């Protein structure tokens, strides 16, 4: 009889412990963008921190009318299971940054959430965006051909690079201290520096450091984590086409005002601004 009671107690303890250490929760931090600036890389790097549980896919809850109507419980169920000491859940959906309705929705449902925005030189970002599209459509015009068109500023890969246009919406709902800006160019060159700032912003230990990284010479020296499958997939590190000096100057002129506005709004001074 005593043996049976003991076994029951042990089983109950195991079940209770499992319930405590494995659960799903709403994210305390969201990487909201920007597309083609390194959001996936940052999430990959953060995944090795013992305190984090990161989403494996882009959830598209706040920017999808269909998903949003499923409600907050549905959203919670899309989150990763947090195990052991993983007390910080992180989601990533880059389209959130440019979506009109997302800032208000997040502010209403997750008023205390921390937001991470990754930004890089808008010209390089546009080329990277173009390369991804071109990979799916072989007959696509060249990058120079697109920029030579009269309405090229309305082309989405170009428009996204005017970051200040979208940041203004977020600042209507979130104070600047709740948004952390990552330099996407430095994330590629010295990821440990950007991760130190991100970890401080998230109030977690500075666990991810320089010794965790190496650079893949087969993928344009893209940074990888020293672990199995530590590099991102074949879609990362693609070759970028050369663009004419005329195209580059045209884009520099276009983005000069946007970049100046970004510096003032975000209070940042990245080297490419």
pLDDT digits (tens, 9 = 90+) for 106-131: 999 999 999 999 999 999 999 999 99
Give 237's pLDDT tier (boundaries 50, 70, 90): low
- pLDDT for the residue numbered 219: 72
Task: Kindly tell me if the per-residue pLDDT of 27 is higher than 90.
Answer: yes
- pLDDT for the residue numbered 242: 92
- pLDDT for the residue numbered 268: 97
Asked if 174 and 168 count as a contact pair (C-beta separation under 8 A), the reply is: no
Active-site choice (35, 36, 92, 114)? 36
CA distance 259 to 59: 29
Extents of the domains making up the chain: 24-266
Sort strands 88-92 and 29-33 into parallel, antiparallel or unpaired: parallel
On the 0-12 / 13-18 / 19+ scale of CB atoms within 10 A, 90 is buried
Q: Is 230 annotated as a binding residue?
A: no
Alpha-carbon radius of gyration of the chain: 21
- pLDDT for the residue numbered 5: 40
| Residue 263 annotated in active site | no
pLDDT digits (tens, 9 = 90+) for 136-149: 887 889 999 999 99
Higher pLDDT residue, 8 or 262?
262
Give 76's pLDDT tier (boundaries 50, 70, 90): very high
DSSP state of 35: T
Please provide the CATH number assigned to the domain covering 24-266.
Answer: 3.40.50.300
Q: Is 180 annotated as a binding residue?
A: no
DSSP state of 271: T
The residues, any chain, with a CB within 8 Å of residue 147's CB and separated by 6 or more, are 158, 243, 247, 250, 251
Q: Is 236 annotated as a binding residue?
A: yes
Q: At 5, which helix (H) or strand (E)?
A: helix 2-21
Q: Is 24 annotated as a binding residue?
A: no
Asked if 223 and 213 count as a contact pair (C-beta separation under 8 A), the reply is: yes
Q: Which of 33-47, 147-161, 168-182, 222-236 has the lowest mean pLDDT?
A: 222-236
Asked if 157 and 133 count as a contact pair (C-beta separation under 8 A), the reply is: yes
Compute the average pLDDT of residues 211-237.
84
Task: Kindly tell me if the per-residue pLDDT of 16 is higher than 60.
Answer: no
The residues, any chain, with a CB within 8 Å of residue 232's CB and separated by 6 or more, are 40, 41, 44, 222, 224
Compute the average pLDDT of residues 184-198.
97
On the 0-12 / 13-18 / 19+ scale of CB atoms within 10 A, 145 is exposed
Give this prediction's pTM: 0.89
């Amino acid at each position: 009889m005593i043996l049976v009671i003991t076994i029951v107690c042990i089983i109950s303890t195991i079940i209770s412990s499992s319930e405590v250490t494995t659960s799903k929760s709403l994210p305390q931090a969201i990487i909201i963008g920007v597309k083609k600036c390194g959001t996936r890389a940052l999430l990959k790097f953060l995944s090795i921190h013992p305190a984090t549980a990161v989403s494996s896919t882009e959830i598209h809850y706040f920017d999808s009318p269909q998903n949003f109507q499923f409600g907050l419980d549905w959203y919670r169920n899309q989150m990763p299971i947090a195990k052991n000491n993983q007390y910080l859940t992180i989601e990533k959906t880059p389209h959130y940054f440019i979506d009109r309705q997302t800032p208000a929705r997040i502010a209403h449902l997750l008023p205390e959430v921390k937001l991470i925005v990754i930004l890089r030189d808008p010209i390089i970002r546009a080329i990277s965006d173009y390369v991804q599209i071109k990979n799916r459509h072989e007959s696509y015009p060249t990058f120079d051909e697109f920029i030579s068109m009269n309405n090229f500023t309305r082309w989405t890969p170009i428009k996204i690079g005017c970051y200040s246009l979208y940041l203004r919406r977020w600042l209507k709902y979130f104070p600047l201290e709740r948004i952390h800006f990552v330099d996407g160019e430095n994330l590629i060159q010295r990821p440990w520096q950007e991760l130190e700032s991100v970890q401080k912003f998230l109030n977690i230990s500075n666990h991810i450091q320089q010794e965790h990284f190496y650079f893949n010479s087969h993928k344009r020296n893209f940074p990888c984590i020293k672990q199995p499958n530590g590099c991102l997939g074949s879609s990362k590190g693609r070759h970028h086409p050369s663009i004419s000096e005329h195209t580059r100057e045209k884009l520099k002129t276009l983005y000069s005002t946007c970049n100046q506005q970004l510096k003032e709004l975000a209070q940042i001074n990245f080297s490419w601004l």
